[in-house]
Amino acid sequence: MIKAGIIGDGYTAAELLRILAGHDQVEVAAILSTENVGRRLDEIYPHLTGFCHLKCEESKVENLIGRCQVVFLALPHGLSVNIALTLLEHGIKCVDLGADFRLKDVSLYRKYYELEHGAPEMLERAVYGIPEIYREDIRKTDLVANPGCFPTSAILPLVPLLKEGIIKGEGIVIDSKTGVSGAGRTAKPASHFCEVNEGIKAYGVGTHRHGPEIKQELSLAWGKTVDMIFTPHLVPMNRGILSTSYAQLNPGSNPTTVREVLEDWYGNEYFVRVLPPGTMPHTKWVYGSNFLDLGIYTDPDSGRVILVSALDNLTKGASGQAVQNMNLMLGLDESKSLRWAGVHP
């Protein structure tokens, strides 16, 4: 068995453990924590009882060296850089679920994360971890920047249409809706049950950190800087992201070409399900699974394209995609331990 380590004990760490419990070639050998050192994982997360016998160890990178071939970093931004450098030096592959290696432009990192990046030279080395777009690069790298949950939901629908010149790069609107687990496990007023339940709100309007991440990837696809706006909303549910993306057709494009391009790109992808005409996704259909479901509507008169995408923010939006990336980095079957249906109802 290949040995994996996890740094962090939040929801994405718990989801990694749930997923990897079913993996027959990789097992988790160690998990590091700052607040729960010495506690058993299944005491913190009783749903894992019977699936994980580990105790949290102190959050020192030395605790992983010599014991793991791959490490998942599930840390607040700013903390991954030095740890990843040390692990890489010791030949350990890294999947960073945080934000430290996602933005290629170090000035954007400074602006949005209000931090000086500790190793800007690593930014080019890190591969942005969407396998459906960067599969070959991921296979070859030892450092994956696992994408944000919102970016995954918006990039996958829009990149093919930008790359193939089907839609314009100006005037893109991405309106996203997320469940609460995306904000993490720490108790905050904004995640108090009574402040979320029976209501919906927008947040981070115009300033959310996933905005520049989406913009980077869309611009790479389009070939120049796109003009887009991204607004996240908080929905009273545990899991799930639904992104509604609005764009304008280029001359010469039409409803048929939109659908053809997306079906071509994703027809052979296990984890992207392009829904038939007339069907729009529901986040419930991907609950607990690693799928991204994609619904397409194009209005022939106005030339407006509406793409609706659904994923589970903890799986395809975080830990599931991280395992998908790990499988690729280790030369394993990409869908290993990820081939199960969503839990519905």
Catalytic residue set: 149
CB of 263 to a second copy, least distance (A): 14
For residue 76, whether the previous peptide bond is cis, meaning omega lies within 30 degrees of 0, is no
Quick one: 81 or 242, whose CB is closer to a second copy? Answer: 242
Which residues are within 8 A (CB) of 238 and not within 5 positions of it... i.e. 6 or more apart?
179, 180, 181
Size of the site for a second copy (CB under 8 A): 82
CB of 318 to a second copy, least distance (A): 13
Instruction: Indicate whether 302 belongs to the interface with a second copy (CB under 8 A).
Output: yes
CB of 295 to a second copy, least distance (A): 7
Quick one: 116 or 170, whose CB is closer to a second copy? Answer: 170
CB of 231 to a second copy, least distance (A): 6
Distance CA 57, CA 30 (A): 7
Tokens at residue 282, please? 């529901």
Instruction: Indicate whether 37 belongs to the interface with a second copy (CB under 8 A).
Output: no
User: What is the DSSP code (8-state) at residue 174?
Assistant: E
Please pick, from the candidates 35, 201, 223, 333, the single residue that binds a second copy as defined by CB under 8 A. 201
Please pick, from the candidates 23, 117, 168, 177, the single residue that binds a second copy as defined by CB under 8 A. 177
Please pick, from the candidates 46, 76, 223, 277, the single residue that binds a second copy as defined by CB under 8 A. 46
Q: Which of residues 216-235 bind a second copy (CB under 8 A)?
A: 227, 229, 231, 233, 235
Q: Give Cα separations from 59 to 30, 272, 323 (angstroms).
A: 11, 36, 21
Q: Specify the stretch interacting with a second copy by CB under 8 A; choose among 17-25, 118-126, 146-154, 317-325.
A: 17-25
CB of 24 to a second copy, least distance (A): 12
Name the burial class of residue 197, with classes exposed (0-12), middle (13-18) and buried (19+) by CB atoms within 10 angstroms of its CB: exposed
Distance CA 93, CA 87 (A): 7
- Judged by phi (left if over 0) then psi (alpha if -120 to 50, else beta), residue 198 lies in left
Residue indicated by tokens 């004990």? 9
Quick one: 5 or 295, whose CB is closer to a second copy? Answer: 295
Quick one: 76 or 300, whose CB is closer to a second copy? Answer: 300
Instruction: Indicate whether 142 belongs to the interface with a second copy (CB under 8 A).
Output: no
Q: Is residue 25 within 8 Å of 336, Cβ to Cβ?
A: yes
Per DSSP, the three-state class of 47 is helix
Instruction: Indicate whether 21 belongs to the interface with a second copy (CB under 8 A).
Output: yes
The Cβ of residue 64 has, within 10 Å, a number of other Cβ atoms equal to: 26
Please pick, from the candidates 38, 66, 91, 189, the single residue that binds a second copy as defined by CB under 8 A. 189
Distance CA 85, CA 249 (A): 43
Instruction: Indicate whether 205 belongs to the interface with a second copy (CB under 8 A).
Output: yes
CB of 84 to a second copy, least distance (A): 27
